A and B are shown apart, each in its own frame.
Chain A
Amino acid sequence: MDRRLRILIVDDEKIVRESFHFWFQKSGHFSETAASGIEALEKMERVPFDLLFVDIRMPGMDGLQLLERLKMEYPDTMVVIITAYGTIETAVKAMRIGAADYLLKPFNPDQLNLVVEKILQQEKMAVECRYLRGRLDKAVRFDNIIGASQPMASIFALIPEVAASDASVLIVGETGTGKELIAKAIHAKSPRRSFPYVTINCGAIPDTLLESELFGHQKGAFTGADHARKGYLEVVHGGTLFLDEIGEISQKMQVDLLRVLEEKKVTRIGSCQPLDVDFRLISATRRDLEKRITENRFRRDFFYRINVIVMQIPPLRERKEDIPLLVDCFLTKYSQETNKWVDRISSDTMHLLQQYDWPGNVRELENAVERAVVLSRSRTLKQDDFSFLRTAPSMRVDKPSLKENEKAYIRKILEECEGNITRAAKVLEINRVTLHKKMKRFQLTDRGI
């Protein structure tokens, strides 16, 4: 047998459960049993069964109720209804709810075999369907960048065009939006792809060290320069240099880099010999560089040099339709990495994730899914698995907090009482000392401002 099914038998009669179990053992399928609908749902939470045989008459949750729950929570799972007291009405009802088949106990051995064969065929088709869906997923991916939204589609369309040119690119986007992935994609599609791709996070390296890192130095150029060292501007020759957080570099470094970009020459620290360099510059920033120019924190000439092509990456909150795609991708990734059977997310949880603003963008979403997968005790991620998100202020859905309401109310009363603390305290039914404490805490004056 090519494919072994995971089968769950749900029946309150032990001899029936055993009878099924022994039969499926002989057929080589993996089978487990559950004596009630509740036990079945508990087991479904742990193991993704392919096929369930569910008896209709059971104490507590009956078979049809269980079928409804299963079809709601696990729509892909095949369910065969079995009963010793079959009626046409129940058979029709079961099939309408979504049962794959309906068998009357006891059944002919060939009948059960046919049902299992039919399920195997359907399972085979489902596997093919999943494969094709996977192919489709690739269509909404671009070099590991995931997104089906309009803004992302525009970026995907722009990447090959940008890659073909040699112009400097400035990628602008909030932290965690995937600026580096875009830079890598541009390099990978550019004629420079067989040459080095070097990334430097300008925000993480002190200015003096950054100079040495970029330009290199001669032996003895400064204390500790025991040997000559090539800078990244030399190392990257022929390839692409990605300067992340370019908004953080000093004015002096901007001048030095501007000269390199214009002259295509680099001189190591402590050397007088300029060296020819040829690289493509891609920069990224989460800052508003034009604002920085007006604040005299960023040089206009350098800005014009690096932003020949600007790519604006939208934050995740502006492309929430991509969240299910991303969650699905991260769920698969971390289920495999952690070897845990966590392959589903409830619809209300997905709704919650789409409500959240994700200030840390895709990176925050990825970390949230990873954390939820690691800590989850069932195969379905639920709202509780993302309880850590609820404390975030952006989850308020535009409703003021109790603290804000209290502050606004005190301000209103103070205004109405024209700053008279005694009258305001009386209206608020608190004493003056408490009102003073609250005003101090909320930074309110007696005019309520």
Chain B
Amino acid sequence: MEEIKNGIGIIAIGQVPDVVPKIMAAHIGSFFQSAVSILEAIPMPVDAYNVHRRQYDAALILKVMADRFHAPIHKVIGVCDQDIFVPIFTHVLGEARQGGRYAVVSLFRLHNSLPADTPIESLYKRCVKVAIHEMGHLFDLRHCEDDRCLMHFSGSPLTLDRLPIQFCRYCYADFHSRRLL
């Protein structure tokens, strides 16, 4: 069992390039002004695989993370290279419980939807956006109507590309007020 005294933990799940958690850590640390630790990678949980859908169940991945990282962990975000889903949706780019502790980001569709000659930085940028959006949910922020805010819902990588890496002033203020609580 691993423990983080405070701050945010980032964990690679399955076959994720080493650079991805590092880039996520740098961005999340500066965005949320919090200490970020990169945790030891874990394999993709086999039990989370759904043979009918040939995808991984995001809720089960979160459960594995919750079993592994107990209190006093503040927030943990995982990143995986497999396609993930929740029962009602064909796929999700990331998943987190509102006000919860654990979130997961999938690189699968972020990567697959990029044209062949696109620089790899575009993938990292997308990954960081999903990670910050899901972290926002962990800090109890809800979807925002403003399509210039990273908390605006995006169901596909293309709509994600249109969002900036920043919160609108209302979500920003909301985040800070929740953080002070």
Contact = CB atoms under 8 A, between A and B. Distances in A.
Interface of A: 1-2, 13, 15-16, 18-20, 22-23, 25-28, 82, 105-113
Given A108-B155, A110-B155, A110-B156, A19 B142 contact: no
Given A16-B87, A106-B90, A109-B92, A28 B142 contact: yes
What is the predominant secondary structure among interface residues of chain B facing chain A?
loop
Contacts of B59: 15, 18-19
Contact of A108 (B86, B90, B142, B145): B90
A22 B98 contact: yes
Contacts of A2: 145
A19 B87 contact: yes
Nearest to A16: B87
B88 interface: yes
Nearest to A82: B88
A349 to B, nearest CB: 38
Interface of B: 53, 59, 85-92, 97-98, 137, 142-145, 153, 155-156, 159
A58 to B, nearest CB: 16
30 contacts: A1-B144, A1-B145, A2-B145, A13-B87, A15-B87, A16-B88, A19-B59, A20-B88, A22-B97, A22-B98, A23-B88, A26-B98, A26-B142, A26-B143, A27-B143, A28-B142, A82-B88, A105-B88, A106-B53, A106-B85, A106-B87, A108-B156, A109-B89, A109-B90, A109-B91, A109-B153, A109-B156, A110-B155, A112-B89, A113-B155
Contacts of B142: 1, 25-28
A1 B153 CA distance: 12
A110 B88 contact: no
A109 B85 CA distance: 10
B88 A112 contact: yes
Between A15, A16, A25, A106, the greatest number of chain B beta carbons within 10 A of the residue's beta carbon is seen for: A106
Nearest to B153: A113
Top 6 nearest A-B pairs (CB, nearest first) are A109-B155, A110-B155, A28-B142, A25-B98, A19-B87, A19-B88
Contacts of A105: 87-88
What is the predominant secondary structure among interface residues of chain A facing chain B?
helix
Contact of B137 (A26, A108, A112): A26
A15 B58 CA distance: 12
Contacts of B85: 106
Contacts of A13: 87
A106 B155 contact: no
A112 B156 CA distance: 13
Between A13, A22, A26, A106, the greatest number of chain B beta carbons within 10 A of the residue's beta carbon is seen for: A26
A113 B88 CA distance: 12
A2 B144 CA distance: 10
Given A22-B97, A25-B98, A113-B153, A106 B145 contact: no
Nearest to A105: B88
Contacts of A110: 155-156, 159
Nearest to A2: B145
Nearest to A15: B87
A106 B55 CA distance: 13
A108 B89 CA distance: 5
A28 B137 CA distance: 11
Given A1-B145, A27-B142, A107 B90 contact: yes
B143 A28 contact: yes
A22 B145 CA distance: 18
A110 B109 CA distance: 14
B132 to A, nearest CB: 14
Contacts of B156: 108-110
Nearest to A13: B87
Nearest to B134: A26
B35 to A, nearest CB: 26
Nearest to A28: B142
A107 B143 contact: no
A111 B86 CA distance: 14
Contacts of A112: 88-89
A27 B92 CA distance: 15
Nearest to B145: A1
Contacts of B143: 1, 26-28
A28 B174 CA distance: 14
B153 A27 contact: yes
B166 to A, nearest CB: 19
B65 to A, nearest CB: 16
A26 B125 CA distance: 23
A9 to B, nearest CB: 9
A99 B17 CA distance: 47
Between B53, B143, B156, the greatest number of chain A beta carbons within 10 A of the residue's beta carbon is seen for: B143
Contacts of A111: 155
Contacts of A19: 59, 86-89
A2 B145 CA distance: 9
A279 to B, nearest CB: 60
B155 to A, nearest CB: 3
A28 B171 CA distance: 13
Nearest to B55: A106
A106 B59 CA distance: 15
Nearest to A114: B155
Contact of B89 (A18, A27, A107): A107
Contacts of B155: 108-111, 113
Given A1-B143, A1-B144, A106-B85, 20 more contacts: A1-B145, A15-B87, A19-B59, A19-B86, A19-B88, A22-B97, A25-B142, A26-B98, A27-B142, A27-B153, A82-B88, A105-B87, A106-B53, A107-B89, A108-B91, A108-B156, A109-B91, A109-B92, A109-B153, A111-B155
B100 to A, nearest CB: 9
B86 A23 contact: yes
